[in-house]
Amino acid sequence: MKPAFRSPLRWSQVTPRPLWLNRRSLIAGLGASALAGSALARDYPASRHSTDEAPNSFEEITNYNNFYEFGWNKDDPARYAHALTTDPWAIEIGGLVDRPGSYDLADVLKGQVLEERICRFRCVEAWSMVIPWIGFELAGLLNRVGVQPGAKYVAFQTLLRPGEMPGQRGGGIDWPYVEGLRLDEAMNPLTILATGLYGEEMPKQNGAPIRLVVPWKYGFKSIKSIVRITLTAEQPPTTWQALQPREYGFYANVNPEVDHPRWSQATERRISSSLFAGRQETLMFNGYADEVAGLYAGMDLSVNY
Ligand SMILES: Nc1nc2c(c(=O)[nH]1)N[C@H]1C(S)=C(S)[C@@H](COP(=O)(O)O)O[C@H]1N2
Ligand SMILES: [Mo]
């Protein structure tokens, strides 16, 4: 079997130093709350790199976001997410598990190995980035709570708190945001729960304090600010599929051969400050086919989009 990642390469080796320093002072300015969450990101031993492409800058990753709980514009999350209270935080884990309950964040992290995962991230809207996440394999948590034999899917739910999430006071989406994976997708080593990026705790606009990252699927599967994880026998409803079933499916695997009804998925626009950045070809399963194509053997991917 091929290893899922190439040789270790830390983000600090691929990010210009002035950017790092700049960001350090920015985070220092956040004070106590940043310190309180520092265990979410700093103590990670390994860095695994699953793309040769250079990561996007911290500024790009934290200023161009989709987080509709804070508004529909790409700069709304950076503008409004600071109001989100992320401590205390707990995840209700239930359904077909041996040890259901409310796990506070420290408990969720207990025994899990945080590592850096530098990977491609491709939105269904056809823009993309490379992001150096900090996180741990979802499988580690699922194994700890004990998945029962009847479980076939994992359902996720985002926080519902309209007082702090202005987008939830408006229409368009049936809040809270929900997502789901097949159990074998959830158990794949590429699927992580991320608690940080660029070596620091997760910025609020990116889904603090803990969010899913499924690098071979369109970005909307990577649900942010998770408060509930439920193991189910039936395929759970997901926000975008419920909203526009013709345009967004349950699987949402990155696939350059299956177009969105309103645009092509063959190419993507890498978010970049360079004036010369053009479009690049989108890769099957976002470049992770060696690791995940086997999950879909025999399935018609144009039907199961
Ligand atoms: N709860 C929640 N999770 C979400 C979203 C959202 O609006 N709400 N947007 C999704 C979409 S469409 C994308 S592309 C990614 C964006 O993640 P990023 O802002 O960290 O790049 O988050 C996904 N997770
Ligand atoms: Mo997206």
pLDDT digits (tens, 9 = 90+) for 236-292: 999 999 999 999 999 999 999 999 999 999 999 999 988 777 899 999 999 999 999
Whole-number Å distance, alpha carbon 124 to ligand 2 midpoint, is 5
Q: Say whether pLDDT at 120 is over 80.
A: yes
- Ligand lying nearest the CA atom of residue 68: 1
Instruction: Assign a CATH topology to domain 45-296.
Output: Sulfite Oxidase; Chain A, domain 2 (3.90.420)
* Ligand 1 atom 12: residue of nearest CA: 220
Known binding-site residue numbers for Mo-molybdopterin? 65, 68-69, 123, 158, 206, 211, 222-224
pLDDT, tens only, 60-109: 999 999 999 999 999 999 999 999 999 999 999 999 999 999 999 999 99
Q: Give percent of the chain above pLDDT 90.
A: 79
Give Dmax (Cα) for the chain.
Answer: 53
Is 158 a pocket residue for ligand 1 (Cβ < 6 Å)? yes
pLDDT, tens only, 199-237: 999 999 999 999 999 999 999 999 999 999 999 999 999
Mutational pocket test of ligand 1: of 224, 226, 227, 260, the residue with most ligand atoms within 8 Å of the beta carbon: 224
Q: How far apart are CA 62 and CA 56, in angstroms?
A: 10
pLDDT of residue 2: 34
Q: How far apart are CA 44 and CA 192, in angstroms?
A: 14
- Ligand lying nearest the CA atom of residue 215: 1
Q: Please provide the average confidence, as pLDDT, over all residues in the chain.
A: 89
Q: What are the φ/ψ torsions at residue 130 (nearest 5 degrees)?
A: -120, 125
